[in-house]
Chains A and B, each alone.
Chain A
Amino acid sequence: MSRMWRVGLLAGLALAAAAPPAHAFVAYVSNEKSNTVSVIDTDTWTVTKTIKVGQRPRGIDLTRDGRFVMVAVGDDDTIEVIDTKTQTVVDSLPSGPDPELFAQDAAGKILYVANENDNTVTVIDLEKRARLGDIQVGVEPEGMTISPDGKTLINTSETTNMAHFIDTATRQIVANVLVDARPRYAEYKHDSSEVWVSSEIGGTVSIIDPKKHEVIGKVTFEIPGLRKEAIQPVGIGMTRDDKTAFVALGPANRIAVVDVATRKVTKYLLVGQRVWHVAFTPDEKYLLTTNGVSNDVSVIDVAAQKVIKTIQVGELPWGVAIAP
């Protein structure tokens, strides 16, 4: 037994001090277990800084003006605000208990936060950094997305297996759509005609007509040699032309490339272990994926549909957001 005890802890963070060239983007990765945010330069594909944040950072996004990174630190019951200039935590936002994921309206004025522990969505005024109110939703709210026109907020709840459609003006639920088990993430097509909802346990992506509030199709996944339970769809990224979707399949360690029109998988890309969320660079040349078990980020060349790079980050990388 003694050999097992001597197993070394996971590799530490690699810190590279590269000066970013003028046109590089900056990616921010939340590391759920090491309580840090890794900063990646997309030109050199290296980690340029590791920012210490609160406990259990998961949901991460930038303010629309690109000045701040917001990161939900669930175990500290708050959302921390990182200044992108100084790359340090400068403020926090008043969420409810255990915030996991959030979405902001198109103008970047209002933030909606899913609080996993009290079955509510908190509404926050981003300018005043003040809490405006709460919306009661299903058990264990998870995925959050907002319609391109800002009028509808969609929240998925993990236990009731529903996507709740919420009117952002009245803050009332206008429809509940039943999807497959444990819905994790929701993504609107840019033309607003469909909402894609991933189901981690169900192993599918449900496609919902947001006007009729009906499931109109499903994307299914099959990988020869892999048990069905290992295919757990989570993060979804769709190209701006609405032609191609990239779906992260968790412990299948793959990203599925889906043709949006036919709703069929055209390719599977082996990335890293327990691939969770994805984000495009603003020029849509690259897609970054967070791989929770291999503790790295994979870089996919979007046009070539090929993995071109792997970058070690902190422990249990969860979310990723990219600034111009």
Chain B
Amino acid sequence: MKILALAAMAIALCATAARAADPRHPDWPCTQAKVPEISLAAVWSGPPLDDVQSKWKDDAKISALVARLSARKTPMDEAEKAVKEVLAASGPDKTNNAKLLFAGLFDTLNAQRSQVMNGLERVSRKQRDAADKIREEAVQLQALQGATPRDETKVEALSNDLIWKTRIFEDRTKVVRFVCEVPTSIDQRLFALGRVIQQEME
């Protein structure tokens, strides 16, 4: 009986997990609204970046710094310090370097963010399949339990399988909830770095 209750719970769980909050993004599993891309104007009020575009990739020093600052393992205060140091040492190239640096961060962090979001949607689709499977097996188990004579070996095997599948499903749901915070933390990083760069340009 316990197992049936567990299966019922799992089904209820799947139902909520599979329901998309935003009909435009049916696979988006997060309660946070999906913002597919950060728009430049939301994070930058400095001079236009049209003239730098992807030139930051050609500048070895800038592109190395972009890689370092984009890595979430680099603490923010360390990143901010690095921005200040590089721009202070830029002399007459300060404005240009600032623009290159922000263009690089904008491209890199936006790409990083898309990757995370695609991953979340992929997991969300997998979870929906897993939910279907759990539902199916729960129905099968019910039938097995109701059958006379009852095949205890089969009942036990299927129960165990169901317990495992449910546990994996629940764990993944928890992880998804956690990863849902990542796009926001990337937004925060980009904004904070952009703000330092703009302050240094003034």
Dominant secondary structure at the A interface: loop
**A281 interface contact, C-beta 8 A:** no
Contact B43 A225 (CB under 8 A): no
Which of chain A's residues has its CB closest to B46's CB?
A: A270
**Interface hits, B161-199 → A, CB 8 Å:** 175, 178-179, 181-182, 184-185, 187-188, 191-192, 195, 198
Contact A230 B195 (CB under 8 A): no
**A57 interface contact, C-beta 8 A:** no
Contact A226 B39 (CB under 8 A): yes
Q: Mark A311-322, 1 if CB is under 8 A from B, else 0.
A: 000000000000
Which of chain A's residues has its CB closest to B43's CB?
A: A253
Q: Can you list 26 contacts pairing A with B, beta carbon distance less than 8 Å?
A: A1-B179, A4-B116, A4-B119, A4-B182, A5-B175, A5-B178, A5-B179, A7-B72, A7-B182, A8-B72, A226-B39, A226-B41, A227-B39, A230-B42, A252-B42, A253-B191, A270-B45, A270-B198, A273-B188, A273-B191, A293-B184, A293-B188, A293-B191, A294-B188, A294-B191, A294-B192
CB distance from B81 to the nearest CB of A (A): 15
Contact of A225 among B39, B76, B188 (CB under 8 A): B39
CB-CB nearest 6 A-B residue pairs: A225-B41, A270-B45, A226-B41, A4-B179, A273-B191, A7-B182
Contact of B76 among A11, A226, A270 (CB under 8 A): A11
Dominant secondary structure at the B interface: helix
Contact of A251 among B42, B72, B185, B192 (CB under 8 A): B42
**B12 interface contact, C-beta 8 A:** no
A229 to B191, CA, bound (A): 19
**Interface set of B (CB-CB < 8 Å, partner A):** 39-45, 72, 76, 116, 119, 123, 175, 178-179, 181-182, 184-185, 187-188, 191-192, 195, 198
A11 to B185, CA, bound (A): 10
Contact B195 A223 (CB under 8 A): no
Contact B42 A253 (CB under 8 A): yes
Contact B39 A7 (CB under 8 A): no
CB distance from B42 to the nearest CB of A (A): 6
A272 to B198, CA, bound (A): 13
Q: Which residues of B contact A220 (CB under 8 A)?
A: none
Q: Mark A277-308, 1 if CB is under 8 A from B, else 0.
A: 00000000000000001110000000000000
Which of chain A's residues has its CB closest to B42's CB?
A: A253
**Interface hits, A106-163 → B, CB 8 Å:** none
With A225-B39, A225-B40, A230-B42 known as contacts, the answer to whether A7 contacts B191 (CB < 8 A) is: no
CB distance from B168 to the nearest CB of A (A): 14
A272 to B40, CA, bound (A): 14
**Interface hits, A262-282 → B, CB 8 Å:** 268, 270, 272-273
Contact B72 A310 (CB under 8 A): no
Q: Which residues of B contact A4 (CB under 8 A)?
A: 116, 119, 179, 182
Q: Which residues of A contact B175 (CB under 8 A)?
A: 5
A170 to B39, CA, bound (A): 49
**Interface hits, A201-252 → B, CB 8 Å:** 223-227, 230, 251-252
